[in-house]
Amino acid sequence: MDKFGFLSLGLIGGSIAKAIRAVKPDAKIMAYARKQETLDEALTAGAIDEGFTQIGDNFRDCDLIFLCAPVAVNNKFLEQLKGHISDNAIITDVGSVKGSIHMEAKKLGLNGQFIGGHPMAGSEKTGFANSNAMILENAYYILTPTKEVSQKALEEYRALVEKMGAIPLILSSDEHDYVTAAISHVPHLVAAALANLVHDHDSNEGTMKLIAAGGFKDITRIASSSPDMWESICMANTENIATLLDDYIASLEEISRVLHNKQAGYIFDLFTASKEYRDSFSNAPRGPIQKVYGCYLDIPDETGAIAEIATLLAKAEISIKNIGIVHNREFEEGVLRVEFYEQEALDEAVTLFQELNYAVHQRK
C-alpha cells in the first residue's frame, strides 16, 4: 500500500495521515475536505500531497481510502466513492460504530473492498490543527473485515497499523459494536444521566455543584463530550446500548432493593468484586475513554503557592492543561490537582516535583 486517500481531515484523519507520512515518507497521500483552508493547512504541514474539495476520479489510484467523518457521513462517503475507485482499492473508516457502514458496504456491493476500522484514540480538541501522529501510539486499533475481503488486504492493513505504532485487534462488526457499547457508549450515557441527576436535585444555592470533586468529577468527566457526536453514535448502535443499559438498570434496581431492606453483606460483596475487577485493568491509555494525565500535590495554603508551581512547570517547558485547589478532599490525597495533556508531560512534572521534595500523589 503506497497510495492513500482521506475523506475528511479532522483530528483522527489528520493524525493517521501524519502517522503514515512518518512511517512511509515516500507514500502518495491525497485528501478531500469541505474547506480549502483545511487542505492548505495539511499541504503546508506535509501531511498530504494533493487536496480536493470534490469527490471523484481523483481517488481512483488509491490503495487504501480512509473515511474520517462522523458515522452517518461516512456512510454517504461510501456511496459517493462507488464508481470512482479501482477494483483493488480497500476502503476503511474510523467510526466508533461498525454495523451501519458494513450494511452500507453490502448494499453497495463493496463487501470485497471494505475493512472497518476504529482507532481507539482521540483528544478533547478537534480539527486538523490538533492532529498528531503520536496519539495512535499504543492505542488499540480495531479492524472489522468483511468475510469477502482478501486475507492479503487485511494483513497489509494490519501491518500498516502496527507500523504506525498502534495495536491491531481484529473483531467482527457485531462484536465491535457490542464491546464498545459496554465500555464506551453506555458509560457516556450513565455519566450524562448522573450529571443531570445532581443538577436536578441540587439546591437553589448550588451546594452539590460547589462541593463536587474527586470521584464525582472523574465519573462524570465524559459527560462533557460532544452532544452531536454522541447522539449520532447512540442512534447508530441503539440495540446494543439499550440491551446493556437495561441490564445496568436491573443491577441498580437490585442495589436499590438491597438498600431499602438494609441487606447486610451484599454491598460489601459488590464493592469487593468491582474493586478486584477494576484493579486488574491495565493503566495504559488504550481504551476509547481517554485517560486523564494528572497528579496531586501537597502545598502550603499561602499566597503565591499555585503561582510557584505554575512557574516551575513553565521554566521546565511543561504545558499545563488544568490546575486548581481541591476543596473537597474526601477521596483525594493532595491539596492541588494538576492535569497535563500527555503521559510524558506528567512523568516529567512528577520527577520535577519529587526532586524539589513536594509530596506527589497519583491515582490508578
Q: Would you state the pLDDT for residue 301? A: 61
CB within 8 Å of 142: residues ≥ 6 apart: 116, 117, 118, 119, 120, 168, 169, 170, 171, 176
pLDDT band at 123 (very low <50, low <70, confident <90, very high): low
Question: Angle 200-274-233 (CA atoms, 0-180°, nearest 5)?
Answer: 55
Question: In 3-state terms, what secondary structure has residue 135?
Answer: helix
**Residues 115/146, Cβ–Cβ less than 8 Å:** yes
Structural domain including 220 reads 176-279
The mean pLDDT of 248-255, rounded to a whole number, is: 95
- Are both 35 and 110 inside the same structural domain? yes
- Are both 27 and 148 inside the same structural domain? yes
- Are both 68 and 145 inside the same structural domain? yes
Q: Would you state the pLDDT for residue 36? A: 94
The mean pLDDT of 6-27, rounded to a whole number, is: 94
For the ranges 94-98, 266-270, 297-301, 320-324, which has the lowest average pLDDT? 297-301
Separation CA 124–CA 340 (nearest Å): 12
Q: Would you state the pLDDT for residue 333? A: 47
Q: Which residue has the higher pLDDT, 121 or 39?
A: 39
pLDDT band at 114 (very low <50, low <70, confident <90, very high): very high
Angle between helices 186-201 and 227-236 (to 10 degrees): 130
Q: Which residue has the higher pLDDT, 11 or 286?
A: 11
- Are both 125 and 223 inside the same structural domain? no
For the ranges 85-99, 202-216, 244-258, which has the lowest average pLDDT? 202-216
The mean pLDDT of 43-53, rounded to a whole number, is: 95
Q: 3-state SS of the chain: helix, strand, coil percent to 5? A: 50, 15, 35
Q: Would you state the pLDDT for residue 329? A: 42
Question: In 3-state terms, what secondary structure has residue 96?
Answer: coil
Q: Which residue has the higher pLDDT, 72 or 38?
A: 38
pLDDT band at 294 (very low <50, low <70, confident <90, very high): confident
Separation CA 5–CA 13 (nearest Å): 10
Residue 290 has pLDDT above 80, yes or no: no
Residue 363 has pLDDT above 50, yes or no: yes
Number of other CB atoms surrounding residue 342 within 10 Å: 17
Q: Would you state the pLDDT for residue 203? A: 92
pLDDT band at 331 (very low <50, low <70, confident <90, very high): very low
In this structure, is residue 349 part of a structural domain?
yes
- Among candidate residues 245, 279, 313, the one where a domain is terminated: 279
Residue 238 has pLDDT above 80, yes or no: yes
- Are both 214 and 318 inside the same structural domain? no
**Residues 62/85, Cβ–Cβ less than 8 Å:** yes
In this structure, is residue 284 part of a structural domain?
no
In this structure, is residue 302 part of a structural domain?
yes
| Average of per-residue pLDDT values in the chain | 88
- Are both 42 and 165 inside the same structural domain? yes
- Are both 204 and 140 inside the same structural domain? no
- Are both 12 and 146 inside the same structural domain? yes
- Are both 272 and 298 inside the same structural domain? no
Separation CA 128–CA 137 (nearest Å): 18
In this structure, is residue 288 part of a structural domain?
no
Q: How far is CA 200 from CA 209, 216, 219, 248, 308, in A?
A: 11, 15, 17, 21, 39
Angle between helices 11-23 and 151-163 (to 10 degrees): 90
pLDDT band at 288 (very low <50, low <70, confident <90, very high): low
Listed ranges 128-137, 206-215, 345-354; the one with the highest mean pLDDT: 345-354
- Among candidate residues 154, 171, 188, the one where a domain is terminated: 171
- Are both 224 and 244 inside the same structural domain? yes
pLDDT band at 330 (very low <50, low <70, confident <90, very high): very low
The mean pLDDT of 196-225, rounded to a whole number, is: 83
Separation CA 30–CA 357 (nearest Å): 51
Q: What CATH number did the domain enclosing 311 receive? A: 3.30.2130.10
Residue 97 has pLDDT above 60, yes or no: yes
Q: How many domains does the chain have?
A: 3
- Are both 52 and 163 inside the same structural domain? yes
The helix (run of H) or strand (run of E) holding residue 322 is: strand 322-325
Q: What is the pTM of this model?
A: 0.76
- Among candidate residues 246, 279, 312, the one where a domain is terminated: 279
Separation CA 96–CA 119 (nearest Å): 8
- Are both 117 and 246 inside the same structural domain? no
Q: Which of 139, 142, 160 is nearest to 102 (CA)?
A: 142
